[in-house]
Amino acid sequence: MRWFWIDRFTEFESGKKAKAVKNVTLAEEHLHDHFPGFAVMPGSLMIEGMAQTGGILLGEVNQFEHIVILAKVPKVTFHGWVVPGDQIVYTATLINAEVEGGSVEVTAHVGDRLVAEAEIMFVHLDQKDSQFGAINQKNFVFSMNLLGILEVGRAGDGTSTPST
């Protein structure tokens, strides 16, 4: 399984706001254990989706010059279930972007229903940093491989999303 917890960006306003969707499907293995007989999208993976949406928004500010790492989730509230068949819309707003990192506020909606909201803080890491080698690079969800989501953000009819 690939560690992508958003399927496509639908809006991307550089340095300000990004919107991404995640379609939840019963084919996802983890939903068979979470929970047996009651499939519900794990909150932790929704945080990951919110972090991927917000992390790419932050990373793009510096043209992905830094590796963006989820450092802290100061606040998160879950308001309801997300189940197979739902489409989650993550909307991230950039609060601040500094040299060392930055923060975003993200909401998750299914239709008009607010299902979760969070504030997420990231730090920047560069290859020259001494801690770089100590970190498992598979955890770098915001490095170049996830950028494909921006490039392949096309609807089935070939129209480009996000529209730029």
Partner 1 sequence: MATREEILDKVRATLVDALGVDDDEVTEAATLVDDLGAESIDFLDIVFRLEKNFSIKIPRGELFPENLAADSSFVKDGKVTAEGLAALRTKMPHADIDSLASDPRVENIQSLFTVKMMVNFIAAKLG
Query: Where on the chain is the footprint of partner 1 (CB under 8 A)?
Result: 71-72, 74-75, 95-96, 98, 100-103, 121, 123
Q: Which residues pair with 107 in a beta bridge?
A: 91, 117
Residue 122, both tokens:
């990231």
Catalytic residue among 34, 79, 109, 124: 34
- Is 101 strand, coil or helix? strand
Residue with Cβ nearer partner 1 (73 or 152): 73
- Is 33 strand, coil or helix? coil
CA distances from 32 to 83, 87, 94, 137 (A): 12, 18, 34, 28
Question: Nearest approach, Cβ of 119 to partner 1 (angstroms)?
Answer: 8
Question: Nearest approach, Cβ of 77 to partner 1 (angstroms)?
Answer: 12
Q: 16, 81, 14, 19: which is closest to 50 by C-alpha? A: 19
User: Rounded distance, CA 4 to CA 7, Å?
Assistant: 7
Question: Nearest approach, Cβ of 98 to partner 1 (angstroms)?
Answer: 7
Q: 49, 71, 68: which is closest to 60 by C-alpha? A: 68
Residue with Cβ nearer partner 1 (28 or 119): 119
Residue with Cβ nearer partner 1 (32 or 75): 75
Is 109 catalytic? The answer is: no
Question: Nearest approach, Cβ of 106 to partner 1 (angstroms)?
Answer: 16
Residue with Cβ nearer partner 1 (13 or 100): 100
Q: 128, 66, 139, 130: which is closest to 98 by C-alpha? A: 66
Q: Residues with catalytic annotation? A: 34
